[in-house]
Amino acid sequence: SEESLLQVLLEIQQNSHFCVLNSRYIQHLFTFSELSPPPLSRLNRSYPVSSPNEYSLFFSNCAPETRVSMDVITEIYNLDRDGSKDYLSAGQTQLPSLYTVFSVLYLFFLAYWVYVCYTNRRCVHRIHLLMSGLLLFKALNLICAAEDKHYVKVTGTPHGWDVLFYIFQFIRVVLLFTVIVLIGTGWSFLKPFLQEREKKVLMIVIPLQVLANIASVVIGETGPFIKDWATWNQVFLLVDIICCCAIIFPIVWSIRSLRETSKTDGKAARNLAKLTLFRQFYIVVIGYLYFTRIVVFALRTIAAYKYQWVSSAAEETASLAFYLIIFYMFRPVEKNEYFILEEEDEEAAELALRDEDFEL
Protein backbone atom coordinates (compact mmCIF):
# COMPACT_ATOMS: atom_id res chain seq x y z
CA SER A 1 0.00 0.00 0.00
CA GLU A 2 1.03 3.66 -0.22
CA GLU A 3 1.71 3.84 3.52
CA SER A 4 3.87 0.70 3.37
CA LEU A 5 5.78 2.06 0.37
CA LEU A 6 6.86 5.09 2.40
CA GLN A 7 8.14 2.78 5.15
CA VAL A 8 10.07 0.67 2.64
CA LEU A 9 11.68 3.77 1.10
CA LEU A 10 12.68 4.88 4.59
CA GLU A 11 14.30 1.48 5.24
CA ILE A 12 16.27 1.75 1.99
CA GLN A 13 17.48 5.25 2.91
CA GLN A 14 18.68 4.02 6.29
CA ASN A 15 20.51 1.02 4.79
CA SER A 16 21.65 1.17 1.15
CA HIS A 17 22.27 -2.63 1.14
CA PHE A 18 18.79 -3.41 2.44
CA CYS A 19 16.82 -5.98 0.39
CA VAL A 20 13.20 -4.99 -0.08
CA LEU A 21 12.15 -8.65 0.02
CA ASN A 22 13.16 -8.75 3.69
CA SER A 23 10.87 -5.88 4.66
CA ARG A 24 7.89 -6.61 6.88
CA TYR A 25 5.89 -3.90 5.10
CA ILE A 26 5.58 -5.74 1.77
CA GLN A 27 3.20 -8.45 0.64
CA HIS A 28 5.40 -11.11 -0.91
CA LEU A 29 3.93 -12.63 -4.10
CA PHE A 30 6.58 -14.95 -5.58
CA THR A 31 10.28 -15.41 -6.37
CA PHE A 32 12.00 -16.97 -9.39
CA SER A 33 12.48 -20.17 -7.42
CA GLU A 34 8.77 -20.82 -7.94
CA LEU A 35 9.03 -20.73 -11.75
CA SER A 36 8.51 -23.92 -13.74
CA PRO A 37 11.72 -25.75 -14.87
CA PRO A 38 13.63 -24.51 -17.96
CA PRO A 39 13.52 -24.09 -20.88
CA LEU A 40 10.00 -22.63 -20.51
CA SER A 41 10.25 -21.05 -17.08
CA ARG A 42 6.88 -19.50 -16.34
CA LEU A 43 4.36 -18.81 -13.61
CA ASN A 44 0.62 -18.18 -13.83
CA ARG A 45 -1.07 -17.25 -10.58
CA SER A 46 -3.94 -15.13 -9.21
CA TYR A 47 -3.85 -13.22 -5.94
CA PRO A 48 -7.12 -12.11 -4.32
CA VAL A 49 -6.86 -8.89 -2.30
CA SER A 50 -8.24 -9.50 1.17
CA SER A 51 -7.66 -5.98 2.55
CA PRO A 52 -9.03 -3.14 0.33
CA ASN A 53 -6.44 -0.41 -0.24
CA GLU A 54 -4.36 1.24 -2.94
CA TYR A 55 -1.50 -1.09 -3.88
CA SER A 56 1.61 -0.80 -6.06
CA LEU A 57 3.23 -3.78 -7.79
CA PHE A 58 7.06 -3.90 -7.88
CA PHE A 59 9.78 -6.27 -9.03
CA SER A 60 12.86 -6.20 -6.83
CA ASN A 61 16.29 -7.59 -7.69
CA CYS A 62 18.33 -8.14 -4.53
CA ALA A 63 21.26 -9.84 -6.30
CA PRO A 64 23.92 -7.16 -6.86
CA GLU A 65 25.36 -6.74 -10.38
CA THR A 66 22.96 -9.19 -12.02
CA ARG A 67 20.67 -8.49 -14.94
CA VAL A 68 17.22 -9.99 -15.33
CA SER A 69 15.01 -10.09 -18.41
CA MET A 70 11.43 -11.34 -18.51
CA ASP A 71 8.05 -10.99 -20.17
CA VAL A 72 5.35 -10.09 -17.67
CA ILE A 73 1.61 -9.74 -18.18
CA THR A 74 -0.30 -8.36 -15.20
CA GLU A 75 -4.05 -7.97 -14.90
CA ILE A 76 -5.21 -5.93 -11.92
CA TYR A 77 -8.92 -5.23 -11.49
CA ASN A 78 -11.85 -4.89 -9.10
CA LEU A 79 -14.98 -7.00 -9.47
CA ASP A 80 -18.31 -5.17 -9.67
CA ARG A 81 -21.44 -6.58 -8.07
CA ASP A 82 -22.49 -8.16 -11.36
CA GLY A 83 -19.11 -9.91 -11.63
CA SER A 84 -17.72 -7.67 -14.41
CA LYS A 85 -14.13 -6.48 -14.23
CA ASP A 86 -13.29 -2.83 -13.52
CA TYR A 87 -9.66 -2.10 -14.36
CA LEU A 88 -9.72 1.39 -12.84
CA SER A 89 -8.90 1.78 -9.17
CA ALA A 90 -11.79 2.33 -6.77
CA GLY A 91 -10.98 6.03 -6.53
CA GLN A 92 -10.97 6.57 -10.30
CA THR A 93 -13.92 4.49 -11.51
CA GLN A 94 -16.14 7.63 -11.50
CA LEU A 95 -13.77 9.60 -13.76
CA PRO A 96 -15.26 8.60 -17.16
CA SER A 97 -18.67 9.96 -16.14
CA LEU A 98 -17.11 13.03 -14.52
CA TYR A 99 -15.10 13.98 -17.61
CA THR A 100 -18.07 13.31 -19.89
CA VAL A 101 -20.28 15.70 -17.91
CA PHE A 102 -17.67 18.47 -17.98
CA SER A 103 -16.95 17.96 -21.69
CA VAL A 104 -20.68 18.44 -22.45
CA LEU A 105 -20.71 21.60 -20.30
CA TYR A 106 -17.75 23.01 -22.22
CA LEU A 107 -19.39 22.21 -25.57
CA PHE A 108 -22.50 24.17 -24.48
CA PHE A 109 -20.18 26.92 -23.23
CA LEU A 110 -18.42 27.01 -26.61
CA ALA A 111 -21.73 27.14 -28.50
CA TYR A 112 -22.92 30.06 -26.36
CA TRP A 113 -19.58 31.86 -26.75
CA VAL A 114 -19.78 31.53 -30.55
CA TYR A 115 -23.32 32.94 -30.37
CA VAL A 116 -22.13 35.92 -28.28
CA CYS A 117 -19.25 36.56 -30.69
CA TYR A 118 -21.58 36.37 -33.70
CA THR A 119 -24.16 38.66 -32.09
CA ASN A 120 -21.46 41.23 -31.27
CA ARG A 121 -19.24 40.53 -34.26
CA ARG A 122 -18.38 44.22 -34.74
CA CYS A 123 -16.67 44.13 -31.33
CA VAL A 124 -14.88 40.78 -31.73
CA HIS A 125 -11.09 40.96 -31.45
CA ARG A 126 -8.41 38.38 -32.19
CA ILE A 127 -8.19 37.48 -28.50
CA HIS A 128 -11.83 36.32 -28.62
CA LEU A 129 -10.95 33.88 -31.41
CA LEU A 130 -8.12 32.47 -29.29
CA MET A 131 -10.55 32.14 -26.40
CA SER A 132 -12.89 30.16 -28.68
CA GLY A 133 -9.99 27.85 -29.55
CA LEU A 134 -9.24 27.42 -25.86
CA LEU A 135 -12.80 26.25 -25.16
CA LEU A 136 -12.70 23.88 -28.14
CA PHE A 137 -9.46 22.19 -27.07
CA LYS A 138 -10.57 22.05 -23.44
CA ALA A 139 -13.70 20.16 -24.54
CA LEU A 140 -11.66 17.85 -26.81
CA ASN A 141 -9.18 17.25 -23.99
CA LEU A 142 -11.99 16.19 -21.64
CA ILE A 143 -13.62 13.99 -24.29
CA CYS A 144 -10.32 12.15 -24.80
CA ALA A 145 -9.82 11.90 -21.03
CA ALA A 146 -13.30 10.37 -20.67
CA GLU A 147 -12.68 7.87 -23.50
CA ASP A 148 -9.21 7.04 -22.14
CA LYS A 149 -10.56 6.25 -18.68
CA HIS A 150 -13.60 4.42 -20.10
CA TYR A 151 -11.50 2.02 -22.19
CA VAL A 152 -9.07 1.46 -19.33
CA LYS A 153 -12.03 0.73 -17.05
CA VAL A 154 -13.60 -1.78 -19.46
CA THR A 155 -10.58 -3.37 -21.18
CA GLY A 156 -7.53 -2.39 -19.14
CA THR A 157 -5.85 -0.41 -21.97
CA PRO A 158 -6.61 3.06 -23.41
CA HIS A 159 -6.67 1.93 -27.08
CA GLY A 160 -4.74 5.01 -28.22
CA TRP A 161 -6.96 7.56 -26.51
CA ASP A 162 -4.09 8.43 -24.16
CA VAL A 163 -2.08 9.74 -27.15
CA LEU A 164 -4.93 12.04 -28.21
CA PHE A 165 -5.39 13.07 -24.58
CA TYR A 166 -1.76 14.21 -24.26
CA ILE A 167 -1.86 16.00 -27.64
CA PHE A 168 -4.99 18.00 -26.78
CA GLN A 169 -3.76 18.59 -23.23
CA PHE A 170 -0.56 20.14 -24.60
CA ILE A 171 -2.46 22.43 -27.00
CA ARG A 172 -4.98 23.36 -24.31
CA VAL A 173 -2.36 24.24 -21.68
CA VAL A 174 -0.30 26.31 -24.14
CA LEU A 175 -3.47 28.13 -25.26
CA LEU A 176 -4.52 28.74 -21.64
CA PHE A 177 -1.21 30.32 -20.64
CA THR A 178 -1.08 32.28 -23.92
CA VAL A 179 -4.61 33.65 -23.44
CA ILE A 180 -3.85 34.68 -19.84
CA VAL A 181 -0.65 36.45 -20.93
CA LEU A 182 -2.34 38.20 -23.88
CA ILE A 183 -5.33 39.32 -21.81
CA GLY A 184 -2.90 40.51 -19.15
CA THR A 185 -1.14 42.68 -21.73
CA GLY A 186 -4.41 44.03 -23.13
CA TRP A 187 -3.51 42.71 -26.57
CA SER A 188 -6.04 43.30 -29.38
CA PHE A 189 -8.74 44.96 -27.26
CA LEU A 190 -6.57 47.71 -25.70
CA LYS A 191 -3.55 47.70 -28.02
CA PRO A 192 -2.79 45.99 -31.35
CA PHE A 193 0.76 44.88 -30.59
CA LEU A 194 2.97 43.38 -27.88
CA GLN A 195 5.98 45.06 -26.32
CA GLU A 196 9.34 43.31 -26.36
CA ARG A 197 9.18 42.27 -22.71
CA GLU A 198 5.70 40.80 -23.26
CA LYS A 199 6.95 38.83 -26.25
CA LYS A 200 9.78 37.51 -24.08
CA VAL A 201 7.27 36.24 -21.51
CA LEU A 202 5.53 34.22 -24.25
CA MET A 203 8.91 33.00 -25.54
CA ILE A 204 9.67 31.74 -22.03
CA VAL A 205 6.25 30.28 -21.16
CA ILE A 206 5.60 28.30 -24.37
CA PRO A 207 8.92 26.31 -24.43
CA LEU A 208 8.57 25.68 -20.70
CA GLN A 209 5.09 24.28 -21.29
CA VAL A 210 6.56 21.92 -23.89
CA LEU A 211 8.98 20.67 -21.22
CA ALA A 212 6.18 20.47 -18.63
CA ASN A 213 4.04 18.35 -20.94
CA ILE A 214 6.95 16.00 -21.67
CA ALA A 215 7.38 15.60 -17.92
CA SER A 216 3.63 15.04 -17.56
CA VAL A 217 3.71 12.21 -20.12
CA VAL A 218 6.70 10.56 -18.42
CA ILE A 219 5.02 10.80 -15.01
CA GLY A 220 1.63 9.60 -16.25
CA GLU A 221 2.83 6.70 -18.39
CA THR A 222 5.57 5.33 -16.13
CA GLY A 223 6.13 5.17 -12.39
CA PRO A 224 8.74 4.97 -9.62
CA PHE A 225 10.27 1.93 -11.32
CA ILE A 226 12.09 4.03 -13.95
CA LYS A 227 15.30 5.87 -13.28
CA ASP A 228 14.89 9.61 -12.56
CA TRP A 229 11.10 9.36 -12.13
CA ALA A 230 11.33 11.54 -9.02
CA THR A 231 13.45 14.01 -11.02
CA TRP A 232 10.73 14.28 -13.67
CA ASN A 233 8.23 15.08 -10.91
CA GLN A 234 10.51 17.83 -9.64
CA VAL A 235 11.01 19.18 -13.19
CA PHE A 236 7.25 19.33 -13.74
CA LEU A 237 6.68 21.10 -10.42
CA LEU A 238 9.51 23.60 -10.99
CA VAL A 239 8.47 24.42 -14.57
CA ASP A 240 4.82 24.81 -13.55
CA ILE A 241 5.78 27.25 -10.77
CA ILE A 242 7.95 29.28 -13.17
CA CYS A 243 5.12 29.49 -15.73
CA CYS A 244 2.58 30.49 -13.08
CA CYS A 245 4.88 33.28 -11.89
CA ALA A 246 5.70 34.41 -15.44
CA ILE A 247 2.08 34.92 -16.52
CA ILE A 248 1.50 37.29 -13.57
CA PHE A 249 4.07 39.84 -14.78
CA PRO A 250 2.09 41.14 -17.81
CA ILE A 251 -0.95 41.79 -15.60
CA VAL A 252 1.17 43.73 -13.10
CA TRP A 253 2.82 45.69 -15.93
CA SER A 254 -0.59 46.61 -17.37
CA ILE A 255 -1.87 47.81 -13.99
CA ARG A 256 1.23 49.94 -13.41
CA SER A 257 1.08 51.33 -16.96
CA LEU A 258 -2.57 52.30 -16.56
CA ARG A 259 -1.78 53.82 -13.19
CA GLU A 260 0.89 56.05 -14.74
CA THR A 261 -1.29 56.93 -17.73
CA SER A 262 -4.17 58.00 -15.49
CA LYS A 263 -2.00 60.80 -14.09
CA THR A 264 -1.49 62.49 -17.46
CA ASP A 265 -4.23 61.75 -20.02
CA GLY A 266 -7.21 63.30 -18.19
CA LYS A 267 -9.44 60.24 -18.61
CA ALA A 268 -9.79 59.25 -14.98
CA ALA A 269 -13.10 57.38 -15.24
CA ARG A 270 -11.96 55.30 -18.19
CA ASN A 271 -8.63 54.47 -16.55
CA LEU A 272 -10.31 53.63 -13.25
CA ALA A 273 -12.56 51.14 -15.07
CA LYS A 274 -9.56 49.53 -16.77
CA LEU A 275 -7.60 49.41 -13.52
CA THR A 276 -10.55 47.81 -11.75
CA LEU A 277 -10.91 45.24 -14.53
CA PHE A 278 -7.23 44.27 -14.51
CA ARG A 279 -7.04 44.14 -10.73
CA GLN A 280 -10.05 41.80 -10.70
CA PHE A 281 -8.39 39.73 -13.42
CA TYR A 282 -5.19 39.57 -11.34
CA ILE A 283 -7.12 38.36 -8.28
CA VAL A 284 -9.02 35.72 -10.30
CA VAL A 285 -5.82 34.36 -11.89
CA ILE A 286 -4.03 34.20 -8.52
CA GLY A 287 -7.04 32.46 -6.96
CA TYR A 288 -7.24 29.94 -9.81
CA LEU A 289 -3.52 29.12 -9.68
CA TYR A 290 -3.60 28.82 -5.88
CA PHE A 291 -6.61 26.49 -5.89
CA THR A 292 -5.51 24.21 -8.75
CA ARG A 293 -1.89 23.96 -7.59
CA ILE A 294 -2.17 23.90 -3.78
CA VAL A 295 -5.73 23.05 -2.71
CA VAL A 296 -6.14 20.29 -5.33
CA PHE A 297 -2.74 18.84 -4.37
CA ALA A 298 -3.81 18.85 -0.71
CA LEU A 299 -7.03 17.03 -1.62
CA ARG A 300 -5.06 14.39 -3.54
CA THR A 301 -2.77 13.94 -0.55
CA ILE A 302 -5.33 13.69 2.25
CA ALA A 303 -8.22 11.97 0.43
CA ALA A 304 -8.69 8.25 1.02
CA TYR A 305 -7.98 6.00 -1.98
CA LYS A 306 -11.73 5.61 -2.63
CA TYR A 307 -12.12 9.37 -3.08
CA GLN A 308 -9.30 10.21 -5.48
CA TRP A 309 -11.92 11.43 -7.97
CA VAL A 310 -12.86 14.27 -5.60
CA SER A 311 -9.65 16.18 -6.37
CA SER A 312 -10.33 15.83 -10.11
CA ALA A 313 -13.90 17.07 -9.62
CA ALA A 314 -12.64 20.03 -7.59
CA GLU A 315 -10.02 20.89 -10.23
CA GLU A 316 -12.51 20.75 -13.11
CA THR A 317 -15.09 22.77 -11.17
CA ALA A 318 -12.50 25.45 -10.39
CA SER A 319 -11.36 25.50 -14.03
CA LEU A 320 -14.92 25.90 -15.31
CA ALA A 321 -15.58 28.71 -12.82
CA PHE A 322 -12.33 30.42 -13.89
CA TYR A 323 -13.26 30.18 -17.58
CA LEU A 324 -16.77 31.52 -16.93
CA ILE A 325 -15.47 34.52 -14.97
CA ILE A 326 -12.71 35.41 -17.44
CA PHE A 327 -14.91 34.98 -20.51
CA TYR A 328 -17.61 37.14 -18.91
CA MET A 329 -15.13 39.88 -17.97
CA PHE A 330 -13.65 40.08 -21.48
CA ARG A 331 -16.69 39.19 -23.59
CA PRO A 332 -17.29 41.12 -26.84
CA VAL A 333 -20.04 43.70 -26.24
CA GLU A 334 -20.77 46.96 -28.02
CA LYS A 335 -21.05 48.93 -24.79
CA ASN A 336 -18.68 47.42 -22.26
CA GLU A 337 -19.41 48.85 -18.83
CA TYR A 338 -15.69 48.82 -18.11
CA PHE A 339 -14.80 51.18 -20.95
CA ILE A 340 -17.95 53.29 -21.60
CA LEU A 341 -18.61 55.68 -18.73
CA GLU A 342 -20.58 58.88 -18.30
CA GLU A 343 -18.80 62.23 -18.12
CA GLU A 344 -20.08 62.90 -14.62
CA ASP A 345 -18.06 59.91 -13.39
CA GLU A 346 -14.78 61.73 -14.13
CA GLU A 347 -14.56 63.66 -10.87
CA ALA A 348 -15.43 60.65 -8.73
CA ALA A 349 -12.92 58.53 -10.65
CA GLU A 350 -10.15 61.07 -10.12
CA LEU A 351 -10.77 60.95 -6.38
CA ALA A 352 -10.78 57.15 -6.43
CA LEU A 353 -7.49 57.02 -8.33
CA ARG A 354 -5.99 59.44 -5.83
CA ASP A 355 -7.27 57.64 -2.75
CA GLU A 356 -7.10 53.98 -3.78
CA ASP A 357 -3.79 52.24 -4.28
CA PHE A 358 -3.78 50.01 -7.35
CA GLU A 359 -0.14 49.01 -6.97
CA LEU A 360 0.43 45.28 -6.43
Write the CB contacts of 331 (distance below 8 Å, at least 6 apart in sequence).
Answer: 116, 120, 128
Same domain, 180 and 306: yes
Same domain, 184 and 251: yes
Is 286 a member of any domain? Answer: yes
Angle in degrees, 0-180, between the axes of helices 248-261 and 161-185, rounded to the nearest 10:
20
Computed over every residue of the chain, the mean pLDDT equals 85
Is 285 a member of any domain? Answer: yes
Is 224 a member of any domain? Answer: no
Range of the domain at 108: 95-194+247-355
Is 237 a member of any domain? Answer: no
Q: Find out whether 109 and 119 touch, Cβ atoms under 8 Å.
A: no
Is 132 a member of any domain? Answer: yes
Residue-level pLDDT at 343: 46
Is 113 a member of any domain? Answer: yes
Same domain, 109 and 66: no
User: How many helices (H) and strands (E) are present in the chain, helices listed first?
Assistant: 11, 2
118 pLDDT higher than 80: yes
267 confidence band (pLDDT: 50, 70, 90): low
* Number of compact structural domains in the chain: 2
352 pLDDT higher than 90: no
Same domain, 66 and 179: no
List pLDDT tens digits, range 67-96.
888 888 888 899 888 889 999 988 999 999
Same domain, 160 and 260: yes
What gap in Å lies between CA 248 and CA 267, rounded to an integer?
Answer: 26
Is 81 a member of any domain? Answer: no
Same domain, 100 and 69: no
What gap in Å lies between CA 251 and CA 194, rounded to an integer?
Answer: 13
Residue-level pLDDT at 270: 64
pTM of the prediction? 0.85
Same domain, 171 and 308: yes
Give residue 12's Cα distance to chain centre: 32
